[in-house]
Amino acid sequence: MNRRSSPKNLGATLKRLADYLGFYRILLVVAFVLIVVRTLGMVYGNYMLKPIMNSLVAGEGVAQLAKHLSGVVIGYILAVISMYIAGRLFMYIAQKTTGKIRKDVFEHLQTLPVSFFDKRQHGDLMSAMTNDIDNISMALGQSLSNVISSIFMFTGVVIMLFVLSPTLALLVMVLLFLMLLSVRFVGSLSAKAFRARQTSLAGLNGFIEEYMSGQKVIKVYNHEKHVIDDFNEVNEQLRDHSVKGDTYSTLMFPLTGNLTHILFSIVAIVGSVLTITGNIGLDIGTLASFLQFTRNIARPITNLATQFNMVVAAIAGAERVFEILDADSETDAGKIKTVVDEEGDGEKFWYIPDEMFSCEAIRERTGNLREECQPSDALVEKNPGCYVPVRGDLRFVDVSFSYDKSDDKILKDISFYAKPGQRLAFVGSTGAGKTTIINLINRFYEIDSGHIYFDGIDIREIDKAELRNQLGIVLQDVRLFEDTIRENIRYGKLDASDEDVIKAAKAANAHQFIMNLNDGYDTMLTTDGQNLSQGQRQLISIARAALDDPPILILDEATSSVDTRTEALIGKGMDKIMQDRTVFAIAHRLSTVRGSNAIIVLEHGEVIERGIHEQLMELKGRYYEFNTGKVELE
C-alpha cells in the first residue's frame, strides 16, 4: 500500500486543523491562560530557592523561612491545578474536534462518486477513519498541551537564567546547543522509523481487512499457509519498523538525561568557582536557583522530542484525511424532480419548469405516451410547467463510455430502448459491457457521449437522488445489515410502515420463510445475513427493492449464485414484482431470460443482436452459439 508517511504541505494542513480548533477558541484561550499560570507557578517555585538559601546562609528566623517555603508550595500547587484543568480542556477539545472531523469525513464519503472507491483500497479508507483520526486525537489531546507547555516553560526558564546570571546563561546556551545537535540526530532517526511504522501499520490493516473478507476463497483453494506466509512478511516489516522506532524513542530519555547531567555538572562547577571567587557577584541563593533552572531546561526539550513523532504522524494522518475531504463530490446538475399529484389520483410526475424545455421534445422521444395521464388543474396552477408521468420508458441513444475517459471504449455508440412494462435481458461474454449499462442507468458514472432518456428526459437533467428513487436494484452479491429482517427490508424506503414491509415481502415470495423463523420479521441478522441461506438473503433483497414500488427494476445476475430449486422460488418472487415494471436483467443462466420481451446480445461494447428468444435462435448467431454451447457464456 502506497501511503505517504510524512506531511506534504505542512502549512496548509496546520491551517485546516486550526480551523477545526477554531470552533472551540474560547476554551483554547482558557487552556492557554492556565498553561501560562502553570508556567509562572513553576518558575516562581524554582526562583524561591534563592531567598530560601540566602535566608539559611544569613541565619534568618524560622518565620521568614516559613514565609518563603509557603510561597514555593503555593506556586507548585497553583501549577499542578492549572495543568490538570488545562489537560482536561485539551482532551475535551480534542475529542470534539476529531468527532467533527470523523463526522465530516463520513458524510463526505457518502457524496463521493463510485469511481473514487474504485481507485482507493477499502483498507486505506478504513485506516484513515481509524488510525489517522486517532493519531489526530492523541496529538490534540496530549501532544498539543505538552508542546505548548514545554515552549512556555522553556521560554520562562531561559528568561530566568539571564535574569539570575547572564554570564552563566550564555554558557548554558552553548552547551544546550551542542546537546540539541545530538538530540536532533537521534530524533531524525526516530521520526523516520516511526513514519515507516505508520505506513507498515496501514498496510497491515489493509491486508487483514482484505483477507478477512475473503476467508471463503482462501479456504476453498487451501491457501491458508500462503496467506499466513504473506501475513508474516507484512507483520515482520511492521515489527522491524516498530523496534527501530521504539529503540530510538527510548534512547531519547537516557540521552537527554545524561546530557542534562553533564550540562548541570559543568554549570555547577563553573558557577561554584565564580561564586567562590566573587568575580560576577553570584551568591549561594542565586547559584542554587540557577542550577535548579538548569536542571529543568532540558525537560521541555525532552518533552518536545518525545512528542515529535506523534505530531508528525498526526499531521501526516490529517493530510490523508483532508485528501478525502478534498475529493470531488458527485457532480449533479440535474434539477428535475418528481411530485405526487395529491389533488388528483396520486399519480407520480416528473416536474419540469417552463424555463428548461418544452414537453413537445419529450413526447417526440417517447411517442404520445404522455397523453394517457394528465396532472390535475390544481397541481398545474400551483406549479406551472411541464408534467411527465413516471412510467419507466428508458432509451440509450448512441451512448459511448470509458472508465478512464480513454479511447478504449467499454461501450461504443450503443442504442436500445425499453418501453414501460417491457422486460429486457442483456447477454454477453465477460467484459461485454452488461454491468456498465446498469452503472450508467444509475449515473454511478457519466457517459462520454450520447444520451440516456428516462421517460423522454435526459437523465443528466434529473436530480440523482430522484433518479435512483425510481430504480429498484437486486444484485448478485446481497448486502444485508446487522439488524432485523424488518429493518433490512425497510432500507428500501425508510418511512415505510410495517404493513408496507410485509406487503413487499409477500410480493417477493419471502413472507412464508420469514414467518417460519422463531422471531419472524424481528429476527436479527448477522453480518451480510450469514445466518440465512443464499436464497433467503436474495428474497429479502428483492423485497427491499420492491418496497418503494419503482417503475424500473434492475436485476444484476440475481439468481446466478443459487441452485435451480432456489432459483425457481426467487423467480416466483421476481415475477410478482416485475409486473407492470420496466425490467433490465443481466443473467448468466439463459433459462432465466427466455421470457423477456427483448434479449440484447452485447459483444465488445456493441449491440450485435436484439430480439426474443425464438427470433435469436432462428438467426443462429451469437445468442444461438451461447445456447448450444458452441461459445461459453462467462
DSSP string, 221-277: TT-HHHHHHHHHHHHHHHHHHHHHHHHHHHHHHHHHHHHHHHHHHHHHHHHHHHHHH
Q: 392: which 3 cell numbers?
A: 419507466
Asked if the model's pLDDT at residue 68 lies above 60, the reply is yes
The CATH number of residue 622's host domain is 3.40.50.300
Q: How far apart are CA 99 and CA 392, in angstroms?
A: 43
61 contact partners, CB below 8 Å, separation of at least 6: none
- Asked if 209 and 126 count as a contact pair (C-beta separation under 8 A), the reply is yes
Same domain, 300 and 418: no
pLDDT for res 252: 66
User: pLDDT: is 316 or 449 the higher one?
Assistant: 449
Percent of the chain with pLDDT over 70: 86
Q: How many domains does the chain have?
A: 3
* pTM, to two decimals: 0.72
Task: Share the mean pLDDT of the chain.
Answer: 82
Q: Does residue 232 belong to any structural domain of this protein?
A: yes
Alpha-carbon torsion angle 206, 188, 316, 93, nearest 10? 110
Residue 277: inside a domain: yes
Residue 369 has pLDDT above 60, yes or no: no
Q: What is the CA radius of gyration of the chain?
A: 36
The answer on 596 and 547 residing in a single domain is yes
d(CA 427, CA 441): 17
Quick one: 212 exposed, middle or buried, by C-beta within 10 A (0-12, 13-18, 19+)?
exposed
- Whether residue 331 is contained in a domain is answered as no
Pairwise pLDDT comparison (360 vs 628), residue with the higher score: 628
Burial degree of 628 (CB within 10 A; 0-12, 13-18, 19+): exposed
Residues 353 and 269 in one domain: no
pLDDT of residue 550 exceeding 60, the answer is yes
Residue 500 CA neighbour count, 13 Å, CB half: 17
Of 91, 101, 114, the closest CA to residue 319 belongs to 101
Measuring CA to CA, which residue among 571, 520, 506, 508 is closest to residue 545? Answer: 508
Residues 516, 517, 519, 521: is their CA dihedral positive or negative? negative
293 and 425, same domain (yes or no): no
pLDDT at site 4: 46
pLDDT (0 to 100) of residue 103: 92
What order of strands is seen across the sheet that includes strand 598-603? 471-475, 552-556, 582-586, 423-428, 598-603, 606-611
Is 247 a domain residue? yes
pLDDT in the model for residue 355: 60
| Cell matching residue 379 | 397541481
- The pLDDT confidence band at residue 2, using thresholds 50, 70 and 90, is very low
Domain that holds residue 538: 396-628
Query: Which strands make up the sheet holding 394-401, listed edge to edge?
Result: 411-418, 394-401, 449-454, 457-458
pLDDT above 90: percentage of residues in the chain: 15
User: Of 41, 53, 296, 274, which Cα lies nearest the Cα of 165?
Assistant: 274
One domain for residues 431 and 287: no
Lowest mean pLDDT segment, chosen from 160-169, 206-215, 357-366: 357-366
Of the candidates 389, 390, 380, the one whose C-alpha atom is nearest the C-alpha of residue 354 is 380
- Quick one: which H or E segment has residue 585? strand 582-586
Residues 109 and 257 in one domain: yes
What is d(CA 384, CA 402) in angstroms, rounded to the nearest whole number?
A: 39
Q: Give 168-217 pLDDT, tens digit per residue.
A: 889 888 888 887 787 777 767 776 776 677 677 777 777 776 777 667 66
Is the per-residue pLDDT at 14 higher than 70? yes
Answer with the residue of higher pLDDT: 316 or 552: 552
Q: What is the DSSP letter of 524?
A: B
- pLDDT reading at 5 higher than 90: no
3-state secondary structure 84-146: HHHHHHHHHHHHHHHHHHHHHHHHHHHHCCHHHHHHCCHHHHHHHHHHHHHHHHHHHHHHHHH
Report the pLDDT averaged over residues 88-100.
91
- pLDDT higher at 162 or 201: 162
356 and 302 fall within a common domain? no
Average pLDDT over residues 544-552: 85
- For residues 350-371, average pLDDT: 66
Per-residue pLDDT tens for 507-546? 888 898 899 998 999 999 887 778 888 888 888 888 888 8
Rounded-to-integer distance, Cα 316 and Cα 6, Å: 5
Q: What is the pLDDT of residues 552-603, one digit of tens each?
A: 988 887 665 556 666 666 666 667 677 778 988 887 667 777 778 899 999 9
- Same domain as 508, residue 425: yes
Q: Are residues 527 and 458 in the same domain?
A: yes
Mean pLDDT of 320-346: 85
Residues 607 and 524 in one domain: yes
In this structure, is residue 633 part of a structural domain? no
Q: What is the dihedral of CA 159, 162, 163, 165, to 10 degrees?
A: 150
- Answer for the pair 338, 392: CB distance below 8 angstroms, yes or no: no
Looking at the fold, whether 521 and 623 belong to one and the same domain comes out as yes
pLDDT band at 395 (very low <50, low <70, confident <90, very high): very high
pLDDT at residue 3 greater than cutoff 50:
no
Is the CB of residue 293 less than 8 Å from the CB of residue 161?
yes
Does residue 252 lie within any of the structural domains?
Answer: yes
> What's the CA gap between 297 and 200, in Å, rounded?
36
Sheet holding 386-389: strands in order across? 337-340, 348-352, 386-389
With respect to residue 543, please indicate whether it lies within any of the assigned structural domains: yes
Looking at residue 1, its pLDDT comes to 40
Task: Quickly count: other Cβ atoms within 10 Å of residue 256's Cβ.
Answer: 23
Q: What is the pLDDT of residue 301?
A: 76
Residues 431-476: tens digit of each pLDDT:
888 889 988 998 888 899 999 999 888 999 899 889 988 988 887 7
CATH code at 275?
1.20.1560.10
Average pLDDT over residues 241-264: 74
Is residue 534 assigned to a domain? yes
Are 354 and 381 contained in the same domain? yes
